[in-house]
Amino acid sequence: MSAARTARTVLAATLVAGLAATALAAPAVAAAPPKPSHAATQQALDAAVAAGVPGAVAQARDGKGRWTGTAGERKGNDRFRVGSITKTFTATVLLQLQAEGRIDLDDPVEKWLPGVVSGHGHDGRGITVRQLLNHTSGIYSYTSDPAFQERVFGAGFLQHRYDTWTPKQLVDVAMAHEPDFAPGTSWNYSNTNFVLAGMVIEKVTGRSYAKAVENRIVKPLKLRATSVPGTDSRMPRPHSGAYSKLASDASGPTYDVTALNPSIAGAAGEMISDSNDLQTFYRALLKGRLLPAAELKEMTDTVRVTPELGYGLGLMQQKLSCGKEVWGHGGGIHGSSSQAVVTRDGEHSLAGNLNADWTGDSQALIEAEFCGTVPKK
């Protein structure tokens, strides 16, 4: 995988193969970066709709207050599936458990999930929980399996959209393949890592990872639009539709994919939220409200993926074209492409969503908000 393709994959943080996202631009060598421009962010929303996205929404908070922009059919308080943004919630819970002395992230996965990571060269005895969270485990991503892709992301979706997948079933799909590399020797984005992380949380706490997220993050931060749906295929209101081509060829028909069983993603990408709640979460996280200083330091210790992109523990660091640095995650799932980022001091944040997975550029929202970059026509 090329560096550009790697950056595109991570920025989308997608569960859907082929989600549209642009690579990070090279950092500019310039004087002070321009001031934030909500006007540019609105233009990025409009550009997404002009490119064929039915609806787009973004909200930003900075020293001047709160701004919300929409385009097309989206409303400012719409809820949406956040995909791999779920990973930051999952990682935060595991870091909290480490701070409480209930787990060490350097424990081998085998200690908590005996016999689960095995087969075709996978061996949980040589993989740590930390390596799950920063994608250095080498474990094959179940979403890369061709048969899984056809059934879940391709034409088979229409027949199987309500199927339930257990975490063990998802892991078993991955175990049928060889590892991508030996643990700790490289980096590759794998959704299997975070399905396993959710299973570890359940083993440590004796309760579902969803309950841990709800009790430790959602309730304390009063995230009223945020939920962990499990196997519930319905979207809570308010929301607008989610749309997909269910194929790599964007010229085909468009399908409404709003309803689906999110167990296909689990702790790697099943959550639902809105632009306001996502900002509240990431601002609280980077300001140290959810983790002690030592654990937050571990979370922000990144593996370099590209010169402009680093990956910590369920948390991405981006250096933008104007030289600014933001932290957060992206997420893609059927008919939904999301971004949520914040500056390291937790003061300037953005979260947004496009309700299509074959067109539009959610990364352009970030460049517009933090660098004032107007999308090219």
User: In this structure, are residues 310 and 88 in contact, taking their beta carbons and an 8 Å threshold?
Assistant: no
What distance in Å separates the CA atoms of residue 290 and residue 355, rounded to the nearest whole number?
30
**Is 362 a catalytic site residue?**
no
Contacts of 72 (CB under 8 A, 6+ apart): 49, 53, 54, 55, 56
CB of 155 within 8 A of CB of 161? Answer: no
Residue 190: closest CA among 244, 267, 252: 267
Q: Which of 261, 270, 275, 274 is nearest to 332 (CA)?
A: 270
Structure tokens at 127: 């993989």
- Identified catalytic residue from 2, 37, 84, 227: 84
Alpha carbons 48 and 53: distance in angstroms, whole number? 6
Q: Token pair 């078993």 is at which residue? A: 172
Strand 118-119, strand 122-123: pairing:
antiparallel
Is residue 15 within 8 Å of residue 84, measured between CB atoms? yes
By annotation, the residues acting in catalysis are 84
